[in-house]
Structure 1
Amino acid sequence: MDFILVGIIALLGSGLTFFSGFGLGTLLMPVFAIFFPIDIAIALTAIVHLLNNLFKLTLVGKKANLQTVLRFGLPAIVFAFFGAYTLGKLTYIDPLFSYTIADTIYEITAVKISIAIVLIFFSLFDLIPKLKRLEFDVKYLPWGGALSGFFGGLSGHQGALRTAFLIRAKLSKESFIATGVVIACFIDISRLTIYAKDFLQLGDQLNYPMLIVATSMAFIGAYIGNKFLKKITIHTIQIVVGVLLIVFALLLGIGIL
């Protein structure tokens, strides 16, 4: 059942991200967090996210706009390091508070509260119409890259900000998708260099079969998204995802997850 849930979410998230600009990390990270500590869940999601984006590069990468990639992507790489470093520091802070319900101890930690706040913030992009239509002038592309990279390193949720900035770059639909994929790869590679120590510490505890299932289904979702889902409306899906993210963030923040 665990593998089925992860596989379905990876398939849907990867398909959605082709036309929304974001989705895979938003959907997959909370599912991984059910089975792993939050920092490991973020790192696992980054692996699937990177492999899926590398696959998408083979489909659309040649249409990326190099100038936009450099203006947005270079600051994103640098600040993704800072975001991942911040995540690592938050992980090792002692629990802020603990409580017991039915003989089960729940802990409220700095990393859980921080990620919960980030999740709630980005869920608003799915729920509030004005934020859905949020756009920034192209002169702010480097700042957008810095913000997107930092939040990408901290929680993996950087696609919404990336889309908000790139949508004004006067790119064709194909170039917009390809440019976003290249930038996402930059951010994933950057943050994974920081996350690597967590995988070394886990060793044999890491669930490689689940990781393989998630990656394989994400590939299938990307292929389907590229071929058949470009015209689908995601308004209802965005609302559902936004609400579920808020619920997950609240449960995470109070230590239930």
Structure 2
Amino acid sequence: MAIGEKRSCVLSVAVESPMDYLVICLASLAVSGLTLFSGFRLGTVLAPVMAVFFPVETAVAMTAVVHFANNLLKLAMFRRAASLQVVLRFGIPALLASLAGAWLLVRISDMQPLLRYFLLGRQLEVAPVKLLVGLLIAIFAVLEFRPGKGSKPYPPSSLPLGGVLSGFFGGLSGNQGAFRSAFLLGAGLDKEAFIATGVVLACLVDASRLTVYAAMAGSVMISGNLGLVVTATLSAFLGVFIGARVLKKVTIKTVRLLVGSLLLGLAAALCLGLV
């Protein structure tokens, strides 16, 4: 079987069970609401949830669509406050690096498993793409808990470096927000400009990596699950609406601890080939 044929077979998995469909949409709703308070980003949390039901590369691509749509909504609201200078200095390197990260994700999805083993009568495989994405998810989850997070912002001169890091890891695993926020904090932006500039940059990375996913893997990544993508996107919108009203009673520390623990658990499952 040719590489292209293999990729199409792997990526065209579709959810058929109504229960799985419901779980993904509820997860999108809950994750979208929780990220308002936890410090974690939608893509960071939703991608590993999607990976329970889909191959990792498909999960990242589908999450990118939901993430992109969510950011387009924010872009319509905040775009006028964005800093053009920061967008250019950070965004151009991020866009180019995201192409490289997305290319690498699709390429390693074709690699053979590193390890096969049996557990409770099941044969499990540790695939390179699952191991890599699982490790990245775990690293970004731990970074969110580090003491003094954000207390030492990077200088404005490091914006291109931040763009490269944010774009590359955004294309590879969907985790772009942590680096983006860390480097934008030192750019001297006010609150409105910080939010708007971050949204513009996120849209640039999402658009570029989705182009690579589509070009290298065809439309099979989401073609069989278009309805699910649309519903998950609408669920994410609803999650923001509900989260802003319901979760005010929950402490940020509690939510971050819960989300971080779930992320680490899912990361371990990916690395061990359990999902």
TM over 0.5: yes
Q: Which residue of 1 aligns with 2:5?
A: none
Q: Which residue of 2 aligns with 1:69?
A: 87
Partner Cα separation in structure 2 for residue 227 and residue 139 of structure 1: 39
Cα separation, partners in 2 of 1:203 and 1:82, compared to 1, 3 Å:
closer
Q: Which residue of 2 aligns with 1:234?
A: 252
RMSD between aligned residues? 2.5
Q: Which residue of 1 aligns with 2:121?
A: 103
Partner Cα separation in structure 2 for residue 249 and residue 203 of structure 1: 23
Matched length: 256
Cα separation, partners in 2 of 1:146 and 1:19, compared to 1, 3 Å:
farther
Q: Which residue of 2 aligns with 1:39?
A: 57
Q: Which runs of 5+ in 2 are unaligned?
A: 1-18
Partner Cα separation in structure 1 for residue 85 and residue 38 of structure 2: 22
Partner Cα separation in structure 2 for residue 179 and residue 21 of structure 1: 18
Partner Cα separation in structure 1 for residue 253 and residue 159 of structure 2: 26
Give 3-state SS (helix, strand or coil) of 2:142's partner.
helix
Q: Which residue of 1 aligns with 2:217?
A: 198
Partner Cα separation in structure 2 for residue 251 and residue 50 of structure 1: 26
Deviations 1:108-145 (A, max 9, x none): 11111111111111011222223454521111111001
Is 1:160 paired with 2:178?
A: yes
Is 1:245 paired with 2:270?
A: no
Partner Cα separation in structure 2 for residue 225 and residue 180 of structure 1: 21
Partner Cα separation in structure 2 for residue 134 and residue 13 of structure 1: 28
Q: Which residue of 2 aligns with 1:5?
A: 23
Q: Is the 8 A contact 2:62 2:221 kept in 1?
A: no
Percent identical pairs in the alignment equals 45
Is 1:208 paired with 2:218?
A: no
Cα separation, partners in 2 of 1:90 and 1:133, compared to 1, 3 Å:
farther
Give TM-score scaled by structure 2 length.
0.84
Q: Which residue of 1 aligns with 2:200?
A: 182
Q: Which residue of 1 aligns with 2:135?
A: 117
Cα separation, partners in 2 of 1:11 and 1:162, compared to 1, 3 Å:
same
Q: How does 1:16-35 map to 2 (within 5 A)?
A: 17=35, 22-35=40-53
Letter in 2 for 1:256: L
Q: Is the 8 A contact 2:106 2:217 kept in 1?
A: no
Q: Which residue of 1 aligns with 2:10?
A: none
Q: Is the 8 A contact 1:63 1:179 kept in 2?
A: yes
Give 3-state SS (helix, strand or coil) of 2:219's partner.
helix
